[in-house]
A and B are shown apart, each in its own frame.
Chain A
Amino acid sequence: MKSIHDYSFTEKKATRDGFGAGLLQVGKDNDNVVALCADLTGSLKMNAFKDEFPNRFFQVGIAEANMMGIAAGLATTGKIPYTGTFANFSTGRVYDQIRQSIAYSSKNVKICASHAGLTLGEDGATHQILEDIGLMRMLPGMTVINPCDYNQTKLATQAIANVEGPVYLRFGRPSWPIFSPVEEKFEIGKAWHISSGIDVTIVATGHLVWTAIEAAQELEKMGISSDVLNIHTIKPLDTDAIIQSVQKTGCIVSAEEHNKFGGLGSAVAEALITSNPVPMEMVAVNDSFGESGKPTELLEKYGLTKNNIVEAVKKVRARKQ
């Protein structure tokens, strides 16, 4: 396993670009893959798929509810539909359509959601959903995935075609460091153990995985070694990996670009409280809506930075003693 100091990046790209690239590839690999978009083809980077497979791409207009229903119908007949719109319009806006026509009906629909979280930036809170992981995680049978960078998003986009059943795939707008290996196999439900440590467990998902690595590097300089896990799949959660880690470290910090209610932190806490309770701190949005601003300004203001993770680690270690 790599040491935490081995992680660096030379290039930044948006996770949504990883989705676009993965969608094109999975379209080539699997004739049953079809895609739908609600008037955000450019934003979701679905143009390459659309150009390559015009017959398998359905522009539905600004009608997300209809898109989810059509996807359910396409899945019924054996297609593997990928729906694309912003995370807010992929979840909250269409919750009942997903619940009844997709989740309860066990439809093989891949709900692909871009612009999740605060890093959507200037558009503000109407579009910055911070509740989507919670909403989707509550649906029985729903797989929930939030990859950490371009490479992982591309791999995840391809991998979800190979599992039967509904999937929520969450990614984002901003350019973000690429640090995960291209050749890394994407295993749904299996945590990526980024680095080994003994003093604290840090679990992170999505954009905050890079932030967690930066925090762990800083902690290392202070003599604190972190066991860092990338929990790209929030449901089903890799509870074995998390329990194994906390049995070693005795405390845990979660980090995510989501409300502290319902997201990764909640999922981890639910898993640990019934098996291996240890002191835990959550780096997440503190039950509020976002606002307009630059992504970095927002992450700063809402407490989702490297320093916030470092502080949370200090706090949780103090509680351990």
Chain B
Amino acid sequence: MQSNPSTEELERIASQIRRDIVRMVHGVASGHPGGSLGCADFFTALYFRILKHSTSFNMKGTDEDMFFLSNGHISPVWYSALARSGYFPVQELATFRKIDSRLQGHPATHEHLPGVRVASGSLGQGVSVAIGAALSKRLDGDDHLVYVLTGDGELQEGQIWEALMFAPHYMLDNLILVVDWNGQQIDGPNHEIMALGDLEEKFSAFGWETLKMNGNEMNDLVNKLEHAKTRMGRGKPLAILMTTEMGKGVDYMEGTHAWHGKAPNDELAERALDQLTETLGDY
């Protein structure tokens, strides 16, 4: 993989990652395809273009950018991005959610999967963990950045707001929080389950700089994430509200919460794969 892939190359990778997601979830008849597909473009941009990182995994993340996934249920997209960028063999994706696998249903460090630094799945905890890593980098004079992704429904957890209060108080300006704003959660649309209100206003009121980004448009992703880096070191943490479409790339999964945590059957999996070009070779 070249070090600075073009938008077209990134889109080709994202297509393969979407295939991986569908095949992983179908292969074990469980998992969360909706949010994973929605975030495929973001993970591609992050791992293949934005992060300064080494795939020879170092838990401490010394002298590299660090990424934490707070909404751990979208593990399929993360696992695929990690494997496709070289953290572990892509063949291992076939073990997802199966016995004796390093690819647990929700990400874990317990089986020592390279790329994962903390378990997530029980929601609301990842921002705090990312803050700890960012504080540590500042203490050590390491000017690399810490990224964390949360779901939008996850913002209903109280711990998130404790963390959102902390980061500006400590002027943590090496931290980029991305919200996967697909508007959906297991039981239905956010606004029906527990309305999030004006997120931009809320983040601003808590002392964060904010940006909006289209999480399913590769040019916008790359531009905004590059721009985000330039906003660091100015005394404020940055929150990016990333709009995505749950299930993006598979027509019957798009725009509904129905595929949040459900695997397609054989026929539907085939229909999904027909819509996603194999670009890097299936695992």
Contact = CB atoms under 8 A, between A and B. Distances in A.
Interface in B152-198: 158-159, 162-163, 165-166, 169-170
A72 B60 CA distance: 12
A92 interface: no
Contacts of B127: 69
B122 interface: yes
Interface stretch (A103-111, A286-294, A310-318): A103-111
Instruction: Name the interface size band of chain A.
Output: 20 to 34
Instruction: Name the interface size band of chain B.
Output: 35 or more
B109 interface: yes
B137 interface: yes
A60 B68 CA distance: 21
Contacts of B126: 69
Contact of B125 (A55, A69, A106): A69
A124 interface: no
Contact of A104 (B62, B108, B128, B134): B108
Interface in B83-137: 108-110, 117-122, 124-137
B28 interface: no
B59 interface: yes
B235 interface: no
B159 A77 contact: no
B159 A66 contact: yes
Contact of A73 (B109, B110, B132): B132
Nearest to B110: A104
Among A56, A61, A71, A100, the most chain B Cβ lie within 10 Å of the Cβ of A100
Given A65-B128, A105-B108, A72 B163 contact: no
Contacts of A100: 119-122, 125
B205 interface: no
A278 interface: no
B139 interface: yes
A104 B166 contact: no
Interface string A48-79: 00000001101011010111111111111111
Interface string B34-69: 000000000000000000000000011110001010
B48 to A, nearest CB: 24
A297 interface: no
A175 interface: no
Contact of B135 (A73, A78, A106): A73
B128 A76 contact: no
Interface string A253-284: 00000000000000000000000000000000
Nearest to A96: B122
A104 B119 CA distance: 7
B171 to A, nearest CB: 13
B98 to A, nearest CB: 19
Contacts of A55: 139
B132 A105 contact: no
Contacts of A75: 132
B125 A97 contact: yes
A69 B122 CA distance: 12
Given A69-B131, A73-B134, A77-B137, A105 B118 contact: yes
Contacts of B66: 77
A74 B135 contact: yes
Interface string A185-228: 00000000000000000000000000000000000000000000
Contacts of A180: none
B139 A66 contact: no
Interface of A: 34, 55-56, 58, 60-61, 63, 65-79, 81, 96-97, 99-101, 104-107
6 contacts: A63-B166, A65-B162, A69-B127, A70-B135, A73-B136, A97-B159
